Amino acid sequence: MTDWSNHFSQHARRAIPSAIRSLSEFPRATDSIPFGPGEPDASLFPVALMREALDAILTDETSARSALQYGPSEGDPMLRRLVAEHMNKRGVACAPDNILLTNGAQQALNLASEVFVDPDDTVLVQVPTYPGALQVFLAHGARLADVTKADAATRPALIYAMANFQNPTGISLSVEQRRELVTLAHRLDTVLVEDDPYEVLRFDGDALPSLLALDTETRSIEEAHTLYLGTFSKSVAPGLRVGWAAGPRVLIEKMGLLKQTEDLQPNSLAQAGLVRLLEHGLEPFAARVQAAYRIRRDIMAEALRQHFGNRGAWRVPQGGFFFWLTLPEHIDTAKLLEHAAKLGVTYVPGAAFTPDRSGANTLRLSFSAAAPERIAEGVRRLARAFDEYDQN
């Protein structure tokens, strides 16, 4: 086999595997309960509605041809309009020109980094944060720093934050904390990338304004420093790979230009399917997933209270997919995972979410992928694994 490693580009050398995706190789019991993957429950996908939508599109000769043809790089004009209306409803005055449709929010994140991040630039992140974002920033050669320790002397190339039901902590920022981030981005003269995949999954409490909504309260979107990332992955289905960026036109155009070199355009058929599926808005889909995941959140909250007692600390999230557990200092959750996997439950150790692999006594539990009737049993197994590990 040829050894190509000496020929790899700097960029390719910096690429590292996702700490979460590599967990799938872990040995585990056959009836294992998955609290690891942050993926939606596939049984909630609107399969019948999507079949009808695609059937209608492919039955009509004109729409079939257009759904299978190349399309604009910025995305289907009708879907851009739909997304702009969705953003309008959430307090962001924007036009379809302010929207770039992408291959999931992940691509939008990568495009934003391509636009702003050079090797050795600083990127400010919440700690802990989404490992898929860490992968992107590290591949661009960024130095990562904690946004709460922002140092006014160095201008960061980008700030990355989640305001709603953060991955992995499940915590949402208060309106005041949101305002502080927007102010920080303007003060440091940098872009604030707001990643908001879980906003549709609010179970309790009133929706809070997005960072982009706050940024555009007193100025036009063209003057905003916030670039908002959204996705249909949690409300409809992630396999469609359709997400978006919303922000100043100059950024949308630059990202669109870079997108042309990556993949020319978003998937025409997936976009056409979404346009038809969302004829009556996103709300019915949001309501459906909210109801389903709220039940799981409630079961996990109760099971943690019952079985985990005073072994650790956590907060009950108001939405999203995740509980974040902080265990006593002497617990290493990567080692605990070996016991847990043998007992038939998995999760993601907290160090996967920090730039410096700190947080060894923390872990993320996802309630999205496990069947509701298995969640309490999973937490019971985890408590048993904890006791076994703690006694050794």
Footprint on this chain of ligand PMP (rule: CB under 6 A)? 38, 104-106, 130, 132, 162, 167, 195, 197, 231, 233, 238, 243
* Residue among 68 and 264 whose Cβ is closer to ligand PMP: 264
CA nearest neighbour of 219 among 186, 178, 180 = 186
Minimum separation from the CB atom of position 236 to ligand PMP (A): 11
Minimum separation from the CB atom of position 132 to ligand PMP (A): 6
Minimum separation from the CB atom of position 38 to ligand PMP (A): 5
* Residue among 166 and 343 whose Cβ is closer to ligand PMP: 166
- Enter the tokens of residue 200: 């549709």
* Residue among 18 and 154 whose Cβ is closer to ligand PMP: 18
* Residue among 164 and 190 whose Cβ is closer to ligand PMP: 164
Minimum separation from the CB atom of position 95 to ligand PMP (A): 22
Report the distance separating Cα 279 and Cα 315, nearest Å: 37
Report the distance separating Cα 35 and Cα 158, nearest Å: 31
* Residue among 256 and 344 whose Cβ is closer to ligand PMP: 256
Minimum separation from the CB atom of position 152 to ligand PMP (A): 27
Minimum separation from the CB atom of position 104 to ligand PMP (A): 2
Minimum separation from the CB atom of position 234 to ligand PMP (A): 8
* Residue among 166 and 216 whose Cβ is closer to ligand PMP: 166
Minimum separation from the CB atom of position 242 to ligand PMP (A): 8
* Residue among 21 and 288 whose Cβ is closer to ligand PMP: 21
Residue closest to ligand PMP, measured at CB:
104
* Residue among 266 and 344 whose Cβ is closer to ligand PMP: 266
